[in-house]
Amino acid sequence: MRSEQKDALWFILQIIMILLIGFFMGMGVAEGISIDSIHQSPLESLSEPHSGILVQENSLVGIVSPYYVKTPVYGCIIDCLIEEESNGDPNAYNPCDTDGYPKIGCLQFHIPTFKGFCVDKYGLTNDIWDCNIQKECASLMIRDGYLYHWGTANKCK
């Protein structure tokens, strides 16, 4: 075998190894074993599919994954809860809900519930009037089995 052929074969083997390493790293990402996900919120770490080949200067880095982690989408339930709780009004305020406490915003959060779950547990911004934060928090709460916090949930299943 000539030197040029050996060099070409060695180059092809290196490309294959890089792609295989990227494939198995992608499998780890699909299984949730990503070093980056430790420093990101769950929503950030799953925001885009991991596929393709990344070219960095003179190196090819495989980031191909045959799997795409699909996060559960509770949009329909959350939309129903918003309709039932506040009739879609992001500025809704109920000074005395059925339990005797005030509720705030599009998903009618009780202030201690918002603080305990959204701010303390999930690390979201402490802005109870922000409907997007309420939606994100509700999605996380539903994922974790806390749908029962909304009295109207039985109308939304």
Q: pLDDT tens-digit profile of 46-77?
A: 334 444 544 455 555 555 444 444 445 567 89
Same domain, 87 and 15: no
Q: Could you tell me which residue, 6 or 108, shows the higher pLDDT?
A: 108
How many domains, in total, are found in the chain? 2
Give me the CATH number covering residue 140.
1.10.530.10
78/65: higher pLDDT? 78
- Percentage of the chain with pLDDT > 70? 67
- Residue 57 sits in the same domain as residue 85: no
Query: Where residue 6 falls among pLDDT bands split at 50, 70, 90?
Result: confident
Torsion angle of the four alpha carbons 22, 27, 28, 29, in this order, in degrees rounded to the nearest 10: 90
Averaged pLDDT, 112-141:
95
The Cα angle at residue 4 between residues 56 and 9, in degrees rounded to 5: 60
Per-residue confidence (pLDDT) for residue 30, from 0 to 100: 47
pTM over 0.85, yes/no: no
Whether 127 is covered by a domain: the verdict is yes
Same domain for 58 and 83, yes or no, is: no
Is there a domain that residue 70 lies in? Answer: no
Quick one: DSSP state of residue 118? Answer: I
Answer yes or no: do 34 and 91 share one domain: no
Mean pLDDT of 114-136: 95
Range of the domain at 82: 75-155
> In the predicted model, what is the mean pLDDT of the chain?
77
